[in-house]
Every structure is written in C-alpha cells, then in structure tokens.
Structure 1
Amino acid sequence: MKDWMNPERLNRLKGSAILLALSAAVGAIAGVLTAVFGHGVLAMTEVREAYPLLMVLLPAGGALICLVYRRWGEECRRGMGLVFDAVEGRRKDVPTRLIPLAVGATWIGHLLGASVGREGVAVQISTAAASLLTPGLDNPRNKRSLLMAGVAAGFAGLFRTPLAAVFFALELFHTGVMEYESLLPALVAALTASAVSGALGVNPPVSGLSAAVPAFTVETIIGLVVLGIAAGLAGHLFVALLHGLHHRLEQWLPNPYLRIVLVGTLVALFGLVTGGRYNGLSEEITAIALAGGQLYAWDWLAKLCLTAVCLAAGFQGGEVAPLFTVGAALGAVLAGPLGLPVELAAAMAYAAVFSAGTNTFAAAILVGLELFGGQYFACLFLVCTVAYACNGSHSIYPQCPLNYGEEKH
C-alpha cells in the first residue's frame, strides 16, 4: 500500500493517465481531420474523372502549390521530415499551418491529375494536431509518445486499419526497432480515430477477398517466395527512384517553379494519352487486380515511376496508397507465371510492396489481415518476410538505426 502511495509512482500514474486522455483527444481530432481530407481527395478525383481535360491545368496547379509554400510555409514542404524531427526532439513541434497547406496542395494535385497518394498528409496533419496538445505533458518521453500516437491516428483515420496503424507508428522511426513504450497511447489514438472517421463515412480502401486459401505445397511456397522477392525489389526500386529523382531534379532544375511546371506538363500529357489510368490514386487498377481481372504487364511500373516523378518534383500527397496499387498490379501480373490465384497474389503483393517501401514488417502484415482477413495470415507472413528481407533496410522515410549507445528520450 505504501508503495502505491509513493509520490513518484503517483506522479507517473498521473502522467500516464493524462497521456492516454490526450491520446484519445488526438484520435478524435485526427478522425475528423482525416475524414474531411479523405472525402475531399475522393471528391477531387470524381471531378477530374468527369472532366479529364482538367489535367492540362496541372502545370499551373504545380506553380500555385510552389508559390503558396514558398510564401507561407517553406519549411512545411519537408512534410514527413518535420514529423521525424518533432518525434526525435530536433524541433519543438509540427507547425499547425502545415494542416491547411498540405491538405490544399494535395486536393489540388488530385483534382488536376498528379500521381500521388494521401496517407503522408493524413499522418502529417494528425501529428500537427497532436503537437497542439503536447504542452499538457511535462515528461519529454510522454510528449514523444503523444506525437507517435498522432502518427497512428492519421494512418488509422484514413485507412480504417487501426492495428496496422499502431505498429506503423511503432516501427516507423528507427530501422528494425519496435518502440513498445508508445504502444498504449498509439492504440488508444488509432482506435478512436478509426471509429470517428468511420462514423463520418470513411471506408477502408478495399473490402475483403474472395480467393481461397491455398494449400502450402512446395509449388505454392516457391510461388509465394518469388512473389515476395519481386515485391521487395519493387519496393526498393520505388525508394531508390524517389530519392534519386528528388536529388537529380534539384540539380538539373534548381528553380522550383520550373521543376514542378515541367514535370506537371509531362505528367499531364502522359495522363491525357493514357486516359488518366495512372493519375491520382489509380484505385481502378487496384480494384481490377483484387477482383482477378486483366491488367497490362507494365501497369505496376508505370504507376511506380509516375508517382516517384510527381513527388520528387514537389507535388504533395503520400506514397503508401501508390505502393498499394503498385503491389496489387505487380501481384496480378505475376500470378499466372507463379501458379497463384490472381486475387491472392494481388492481395499479398499489396501488403508486401508496402512493407518493402516503408521498411515496416508487422504493420504490413496487419494491413493485409485487417483488409483481407485472418485466413491469409500464413501467406502474408511469408510474402512480407521475404519482401522485407529483400528491401535491404531502405525506406521512403528518413529512418535511421537506433543508437543504443545513447539514452532514448
């Protein structure tokens, strides 16, 4: 009894209770923000698909995005870099002005046909919201946990996969390290955000899978292993291309306006020629793949390259949704040669390319389980393990190994 009444222990319990309450608040705010943002992205997509000639305005839209960021939020262009800096204590917070800037820029991109995703912005705006509540915490470790809860809330609110969101936040910041200290706050925030966004009409990106679970024969195992290798290499290719293009475009076209206008022009022309197949979210490709339909053999590569070019040029959005599309298309194309059902291969690669591109393991498996069903656990585990191993610890995010010689904050 005396131990429970110890002032130091009582202070820790009080701090934990405040942290969990604030995590729930972050989840509620993130649920609203991601619902508004997600519905806006889908609305912009519908308008562009109804009026495809809007893509001719993509260069002008890119110039507008560049102008707004340079005038009102130059540092906000760093996006996920700000989230990493805030979580790692290199800066105080994620600036609140990032919320309207990132949301508006992403909506413009989707309206006019940039090949970008959405989860990066969802995570950023949710972490910015979490930053507003960190003054309520005295312990730096609790502040860090609240920001990580913001990451989980943003992912969960947008994709409605709260368990995957929790482990995405825990795995995100350090290569090969799971930061369990923030498990409970992330779980509270993710469950709350998913519930709130769901109540506001947000649905998971895909729903269920009709493919039968295959028997684990030698042929099936070999097919799944090869699929995992291909997914890992595709994820690694995306990471290398994204970072390489970002560096090269800055060298070749140092003027940011010229850079984004030129790329916007090329992407718009490509979109008009291909009927907008690879512009925006390209969810139709994912839907066809998961339904067992026929795709072009190059669909996955075209989507991968176009997304890397758009993001490297300065268009705002995310990388995860395009990784899902790349994976589904790649799996559908490889299903036949590997002797796997098209729907199954598409779903497994959907999760595995995400694993390789983000350098996360548990989060990718849980994405597959929450979207497609627990009966595919063995297949998901095998394919994601191989893809994660083949990636070589590279990531679209600025991850770094945890320095065990220094005390964690």
Structure 2
Amino acid sequence: MKVRQLSDSKGLSYLHLVMLSLYAILLGVLVGLIDAVFGRVLIGLSEFRDHHLFYLVPVLPLAGLLIVYLYQKFAGKAAQGMGLIFKVGHNEEDQVPLRLIPLVTVTTWLTHLFGGSAGREGVAVQLGATVSHAFSRYFKLPNASCIFLTMGMAAGFGGLFQTPIAATFFSLEVLTLGQLSLPILVPTLIASFMASTTSHLLGLEKFSHFVSKSLTIDLETFMKLALLGLAFGLAGNLFAYLLSLAKKKVASLLPNPYYRVLLGGVVLTCLLLILCKGRYTGLGTNLIALSVDGGTIYPLDWLFKLLLTVFTLSLGFQGGEVTPLFAIGASLGAVLAPILGLPISLVAGLGYLSVFGSSTNTLLAPIFIGIEVFGPANAIPYAIVMAFAYLINHKTSIYGQQKMLEMQ
C-alpha cells in the first residue's frame, strides 16, 4: 500500500501539523454537534415510523416527489452527493456548496420517516467534508482542499458511528485504492476523536456488541474464515455492482426523475409492506440486532435488504449505503455461521465489517470497525476475513469516483 503525498516534495512542516491539529479540535466539535442533531433526529423519526408503519410507508412516493423537487430546485453541484466529495478529493472540483448540508439532511430524514431502505453514513461524511472544506480557503497549505476534505470525512464518519480509529483510516484510504494519506494521520485522528466524543456527550448512542471469547486459529478455522471472506466479498461486490447497474437502468427506463421516484416509489412501498410487514424499511439496525443477539434471521434476509436498498437509492431517495451494508453482512453471517459450525455473533460481526469493506474497497477501516464495535479479542479473524474479502474485484465500489492506484 502506497503512502499518498498530499503536499509537495517537501511535505507538511511541523508548524503545519500543529495548525491542522488545533483546527481539528474545532472541526471535531462542530461536526460532532451536527452529527448528534442529525443522528438523534433520524433515530427519533425511525422509531416514530416503526410505530406508524402502515400510515407512513404508503406516503413514500409523495415524499420522493418532494425530495426530487428540492434537488432539482436547489442542489446544483450538490446533487452529485458523494461523487462531488470524491471529485474535490481528486482535485477535479474545487468547491462543495454549503447548501449541501441542509439539503442532504432534510431529504435523508424524509427517506427514513417514510420507510425507504437506506443508510446514513453518506450524509455524515458529506456533512463533515462540506464543513471542513469551507475552512480550507483560510489556510495557506499545499493541497489544502484535499487535506481538509479528508479530515472532515473522518470527523463526519467518526461522529456518527463513534468509531474514530476506523473513521480515520476510512478517510485516509477511501479516495484512491491502494494509497494512504499518512502525512495527515494525526490531525485526522484528532478530528475524528473530537467528533466522536462530542456526539457521544450530546446523547448519540454508539452501537457495540463485544464478543469476549476469542477464536482459536488452526488450519481448519483458517479455511473457514477464508471461505467467509470470499462469501462476504462477493456479497459486498454484488451490492456495489447492482447499485451502479440499477441507477443506470432505472434512469434509462424512466428518464424523468419525477415519474421515476413516483412510479418506482409505489412499487417500493408495496414491496416494503408485503415483505415481512416492513422488516426491511430504514437502516436495517433491526437485522443487525437480531443477528448478533441470536434472534430469528431468515435465510434471505440479507438478499431482500440488499435488493431493496439498491432499489431505494436507484430511484432518487437519499441516504447512505453503509448501515444497510452492515445489516446485509450481519444477517448473511448469521445464516452462514451454523453451516460452518462457528459462533453466530462472531460470524455476524465478521459479515458486518467485511461486506462494508468489500463494497467500499477499504481494508484497514473495516478491521478497526470490528475492533471498535465487537471488541479486540478477535482482531486476527477480522484481519483474515478482510484479507480474503479484499481479494474480490476492486473495480466495483459503491463510490463510483473512487480511483485505483496505477502500478509502477
């Protein structure tokens, strides 16, 4: 893995790093505050929806019309969402409009209130990146745009999920496959920790399920973990491939975004209500809890959640992909664990982190997610599973603007 040089050949000076670290404290507090508001409102709306499911989910197509109208009327470049963040990170664009913050926040709330199957991390990353990038113009640093964007992404991810180390490495490795932005490791870590601490103090709860018993690694267990890694890698890449394909196919079949979200929203509403009475609405945290706690998980839960999330996002509803990916991986793990004779909670955790990793083409971030969410006792199994999941096709990612390092 190559270290990405974010500045000129002389690199960042210690003075630059001190300045960035002090700024990271302010950034983390600010983004943590925004994450706390966004996250707590989202949780409240999701709980309200679960109690009034059959009244709210039928309104989803109308909510979709409002979402499309808001984006058509006000978005401009912000309509590119995570694509714009990646373009700025690659110096293909030089501005992230501040209107992205209220726009993506409100439309994601609408998606979840009325039952769309979507995530939230894309919103948090966009929020953090937008806030941080707005300050880059005030610092005379080489390649300040990319530096501040990376720090903001880490703060946004860390503040929402409260996994600051994972968030740090996610932002450092996700822009270009095979590279790490290590010159700004320390300020990025500070921003992530400050955001995580701030959101926690403001009442945003972290999901964690510590698995205290470590798995003994012998040849048989290693082979089982390798098979799991390949299975989870295929699931993650299936999600990324279908999401890219569905967006193109749906747009070609229904080029008018209003017809697309209205007609597709009607079909989506029917599917969400028919399939286990709303089991696959929202983030998918219900599936995660059932998986790690040994609850009832059906063999096709992971596939239904995958397909419905792809359909939701392809129609124009807003949100991220990561929490549904966690749910897909955890529920698939709960199905595979008895077949391989491994603990269900552990394999659910392995699926949780590795389906995310394979669909985002990240390696270190998912390993640290495992450590921060499920505890360090099984760090070696996390690494083994991710190593094999990482083998699967690197050309497919939920982030279409992600670039691959060219081999010298």
Structure 1 length-normalised TM: 0.93
Q: Equivalent residue for 1:399?
A: 402
CA separation of 1:297/1:404 partners in 2, compared to 1, >3 Å: closer, same or farther?
closer
Q: Give CA-to-partner distance per residue, 1:89-125, whole Å, 9 cap, x none.
A: 2222211000000000000000000000000000001
Q: Equivalent residue for 1:4?
A: none
Q: 1:58 aligns with which of 50, 60, 65?
A: 60
Is the deviation greater in 22-31 or in 303-312?
22-31
* 2-structure distance, mates of 1:168, 1:282: 21
* 2-structure distance, mates of 1:156, 1:123: 9
Q: 2:377 aligns with which of 372, 375, 378?
A: 375
Q: Does 1:269 align with 2:278?
A: no
Percent of paired sites with the same residue? 39
Q: Which residue identity lines up with residue 173 of structure 2 in the other structure?
A: E
Q: Equivalent residue for 1:222?
A: 223
Is the deviation greater in 132-141 or in 331-340?
132-141
Q: 2:83 aligns with which of 81, 84, 100?
A: 81
* 2-structure distance, mates of 1:71, 1:225: 49
What is the CA distance between 1:404 and its match in structure 2? 7.8
What is the CA distance between 1:239 and its match in structure 2? 0.5
Matches within 5 A, 1:7-18: 12-18=13-19
Is the partner of 1:140 in helix, strand or coil? coil
CA contact (8 A) 2:94 2:145 kept: no
Q: Which residue identity lines up with residue 372 of structure 2 in the other structure?
A: E
What is the CA distance between 1:339 and its match in structure 2? 1.3
CA contact (8 A) 1:65 1:105 kept: yes
CA contact (8 A) 1:22 1:146 kept: no
Q: Which residue identity lines up with residue 30 of structure 1 in the other structure?
A: V
* 1-structure distance, mates of 2:272, 2:253: 24
Q: Which residue identity lines up with residue 359 of structure 2 in the other structure?
A: G
Is the deviation greater in 199-208 or in 110-119?
199-208
* 2-structure distance, mates of 1:363, 1:394: 18
* 1-structure distance, mates of 2:41, 2:27: 21
Q: Which residue identity lines up with residue 404 of structure 2 in the other structure?
A: P
What is the CA distance between 1:393 and its match in structure 2? 4.3
Matches within 5 A, 1:5-404: 12-53=13-54, 54-209=56-211, 212-273=213-274, 274-397=276-399, 398-402=401-405
CA contact (8 A) 2:353 2:369 kept: yes
What is the CA distance between 1:262 and its match in structure 2? 1.8
CA contact (8 A) 2:215 2:378 kept: no
After TM superposition, where is structure 1 displaced by more than 6 Å over at least 4 residues in a row? none
Q: Equivalent residue for 2:4?
A: none
The CA RMSD measured in Å over matched residues stands at 1.6
What is the CA distance between 1:65 and its match in structure 2? 0.2
CA contact (8 A) 1:289 1:346 kept: yes
What is the CA distance between 1:19 and its match in structure 2? 1.9
CA contact (8 A) 1:220 1:339 kept: no
Q: Give CA-to-partner distance per residue, 1:60-108, whole Å, 9 cap, x none.
A: 0000000011001132221101111222222222110000000000000
What is the CA distance between 1:244 and its match in structure 2? 0.4
Q: Which residue identity lines up with residue 396 of structure 1 in the other structure?
A: I
Structure 2 length-normalised TM: 0.94
Is the partner of 2:347 in helix, strand or coil? helix
What is the CA distance between 1:366 and its match in structure 2? 0.2
CA contact (8 A) 1:152 1:190 kept: yes
Q: Give unpaired runs (5+ residues) of structure 1.
A: 1-8
Q: Give unpaired runs (5+ residues) of structure 2.
A: 1-9
* 2-structure distance, mates of 1:309, 1:75: 23
Is the deviation greater in 140-149 or in 294-303?
140-149
CA contact (8 A) 2:354 2:386 kept: yes
